[in-house]
A and B are shown apart, each in its own frame.
Chain A
Amino acid sequence: MHAGIIFLLVIIGSVLFHIFTPWYWTDIASNWGGMDDTITLTFWVGGGVFVAVCLFMIYCVFKYQHKEERRAEYKPEDKKLEKILTWATTLGVCALLAPGLIIWNQYVNVPKNAIEVDVMAWQWGWQYRLPGADGKLGTTQVRNIADNNPFGINPDDPFGKDDIMVESDVINLENNRPVKILLRSVDVLHNWYVPQFRAKMDAVPGTVTFYWFEPNKVGEYEVLCAEYCGVGHYAMRGGVEVQDKADYEVWLSEQETFEQLSARYEKLNVGGNKLAKK
């Protein structure tokens, strides 16, 4: 008897924990509210199934405890019942899958007006580059990286000249404007993740990956690395500052372009591809 009661308390406790938990997601600050909604839906459907299955099990434990004189029912199969359960489950699964796929479709299709941001990861930090007046980022190569070319921009690429180098591990973004994050890494795997934006994607050396979101709350956010990248993984932080258009324009005008940076290095006469091999 006590076994059934303890199991019942576990289920009641789980439901109460879910209702009263102080630990829940951070206030969302991007367009991906649909992800939260799908999680909530899955909680209702999945949680309902969990509670129903467990309560049925507990009912059986109470009701059909062993008695020497009693016999269990002998019924190897019940085709009709099995069929009903199969179809009901299939329907439930479809109901959960559909919103998941719809939102994924939005996730992989980046809006045309999104501003591209080059997020370059290394052990263990982040640096950022924005397109200049031409709206296009210059192409890059790991082998080009040097003190006077921190992003490895191909020197012959005309689109690269006006690219904006952000001399900070904090990137500023314009509120309510979609951002396409272009991720790359010079060494190992990383993942640029802001919990409040919900979205994330790995940065993989040797290729450029992407995702997009639209920040919709002005404020400062912390960037975490969400893919294990070696011993400094837990300390690999960065930042995002979401600003209104006017503030953002001011910040943008204060940043240096690739051309200006190259010129500065030439003036200091410490330029040259110190790192790249001949």
Chain B
Amino acid sequence: MSDEYDNNKSYQAQSSEVMDGSAGSVNPDIDYVRPAEVGEQDLYHGHSFIEKWVFCQDAKVIGVQYFLTAVFTGIVGLILSWLMRLQLGFPGLAGFMTAEHYYQFVTMHGMIMVVYFLTALFLGGFGNYLIPLMVGARDMVFPYVNMLSFWMFFVAVAVLMASFFVPGGPTGAGWTLYPPQTILEGTPGSGMGILLMLISLSLFVIGFTMGGLNYMITILQARTRGMTLMRMPLTVWGIFTATVLAMLAFPALLVSAIMMTLDKVLQTSFFMPTILKAGEVLEYGGGSPILFQHLFWFFGHPEVYIVALPAFGIVSDLISVHARKNIFGYRMMVWAIVGIGGLSFFVWAHHMYVSGMNPWFGFFFATTTLIIAVPTAMKVYNWILTLWRGNIRINTVMLWCLGFIVTFVNGGITGIFLGNVSVDVPLSDTYFVIAHFHMVMGIAPLMVIMGAVYHWFPLVAGKMLHEGLGKWHFWITFLGAYSIYFPMHYLGFIGVPRRYFEMYDSPYMTSAVGMNEFISIAAFIVGAAQFILVFNIIKTLKTGKKAEQNPWKANSLEWYTSTVPPEHGNFGERLPVVHRWPYDFSVPGAKDDFIPQTTAPSEVIHTEVEKT
């Protein structure tokens, strides 16, 4: 207590020099910000092309590297989804499509999109680029480890892609990799394919841990003066909580990958019971396939939130900036993110209601799962209440945010069906599940990614993306994706099971022929529409309009760098000092409709700003 008091006194003099011109009646304490506790970080600036752009230690470059590598895997995943839809909508049209290939494409599509695309993009891409900028740091705290993190991810992707070219092809076990089938003949890619998948996942987890430690410690230890936790943008809160989840959840994936590798290579029986195949009893016995499912979903469910929480955070910031209004209920939003993150470790077995685990678990996991709906609903209310009485720019960024709200609420509601144990019984393992998770953790986060790209592109590249092309990109993607997944729920009601290579030999499946053709055509169009963005980016980089500094009139620190795009070290000579939260938009009495985080209270003394 007394220490703080002393500090207060000794810095009065310093703070008064900042306020120079303000009225003498102002209490000189109001601009006081605690001094930095540690000295500035030494940065290693690259000297050659390789050090600047390849083995680079600047988090922004690493972020872009993560982003581009993840987008590459995403394009592979997209092409695989086209091939799947080709088979489902127009079976027999592609002559090379065997059941083996189909299952391999399904598996690789799922694993790529969830782990190598979405997770890497949100945490590796946006996390690296935005965390240091938004908390006012010069870089991540361990830049070298950060560089290793990306290259480990790169090797993981290379190993994953290599599995397309090994004998037997990539694994076709479904992205959940359930044993025993995953490592037994009868499943495509049960030889080299699955081994490479397990190795790639292990490398991913190792690389990701390096990055994750950086994100966590940078946020906890390297925030600039005045950047209290409750003044951080929700983007940082989302990425931070997701990283904590990842650090706790990924080890479960790593150990299950190691145990399965041992089962495959050394014939241990962690997950393998006595098995009779082709008339022979195999060399396994006593293992539990359900144990793997528990481990997998102990990772797998938090994984959903590892993708969702950064999306929640980013979309909150985008909505607030473009509605020119503070995010409604900031503290509730923070606690909702943390609460959802915590609860996400107690719901995993809702993926396993009909897995054969003890059915009494159902009561517990249905209850925890539906409890999570409450903080999630609060976030949705707060987003739309942020729009309410706002001053909303209907630009491309806002359109993606609105698209996110529609798809996320839709997918969230269908989650209540599936979480509610006995309702899950008829719907599990049907197309209802596919529709649900694509809506809620495919399309909804993708909407946020796109919004974020249009929002931050002027910062990263210094040029404004073309609005007209952006709007076309949005409407085709949103309307197309919605018409893929909304009707798909009804296939699930009929009872059409997922992971069926062919499905037209039963009466209620035949009724789905028309719908499957329609969905496939929509999928081709939506996929192709993504190249509008590629075109837009190339065009903008060549001939685009130069972006002014802070074109959206935002408050958070990333827009207040010394140069645009920000250079290595981000903030020039002096680190910014933070005096407020990043959501002071449309404050009554203020000259502009935004007050940057760096504005001292004495500069806006006549406004009715609330203390944050």
Contacts and interface: CB of A to CB of B under 8 A. Distances in A.
B99 interface: yes
Interface stretch (B148-156, B217-225, B365-373): B365-373
A37 to B, nearest CB: 10
A200 B392 contact: no
B421 A100 contact: yes
A242 B498 CA distance: 26
B548 interface: no
A245 B164 CA distance: 55
Which of B100, B391, B417, B430 has the most A CB atoms < 10 Å from its CB?
B391
A230 B187 contact: yes
Interface in A47-61: 47, 49-50, 53-54, 56-57, 60-61
Contacts of B394: 3, 61, 65-66
Interface stretch (A125-133, A164-172, A183-191, A254-262): A183-191
B348 interface: no
Contacts of A7: 402, 406
Contact of B409 (A50, A81, A104): A50
A39 B287 contact: no
Interface residues of A, number: 102
Nearest to A275: B279
A115 interface: no
A77 interface: yes
B429 A191 contact: yes
Interface string A16-55: 0100011111100000101110110010001101100110
Given A100-B423, A104-B362, A205-B273, A82 B378 contact: yes
Which of B178, B390, B475 has the most A CB atoms < 10 Å from its CB?
B390
Nearest to A102: B422
A246 interface: no
Nearest to A231: B99
Contact of A67 (B362, B391, B495): B391
A251 interface: no
Contacts of B384: 53, 56-57, 60
A7 B288 CA distance: 48
A226 B498 CA distance: 7
Interface string B583-612: 101111000010000000000000010101
Contact of B330 (A72, A77, A193, A211): A77
A38 B356 contact: no
B391 A186 contact: no
Contact of A108 (B360, B391, B426): B360
A267 interface: no
A122 B186 CA distance: 11
Interface residues of B, number: 113
Contact of A82 (B332, B405, B423): B332
18 contacts: A10-B406, A60-B392, A61-B392, A72-B325, A82-B378, A96-B420, A100-B366, A100-B422, A104-B363, A104-B421, A187-B186, A188-B186, A209-B356, A226-B497, A230-B184, A233-B103, A275-B280, A275-B281
Interface of B: 99-100, 103, 172-174, 178, 180-181, 184, 186-188, 273-277, 279-281, 286-290, 323-326, 328-332, 354-356, 359-360, 362-363, 366-367, 370-371, 373-374, 377-378, 380-381, 384-385, 387-394, 399, 402, 405-406, 409-410, 413-414, 416-417, 420-423, 425-430, 475, 479, 482, 486-487, 490-491, 493-495, 497-503, 506, 508, 511-512, 515, 583, 585-588, 593, 608, 610, 612
The 7 closest A-B CB pairs, nearest first, are A206-B273, A195-B495, A100-B420, A209-B356, A188-B181, A46-B413, A72-B325
Interface of A: 3, 6-7, 10-11, 14, 17, 21-26, 32, 34-36, 38-39, 42, 46-47, 49-50, 53-54, 56-57, 60-61, 64-67, 70-78, 81-82, 85-86, 89-90, 93, 96-97, 100-101, 103-105, 107-108, 122-123, 141-143, 145, 183, 186-189, 191, 193, 195-196, 198-207, 209, 211, 222, 224-235, 275-277
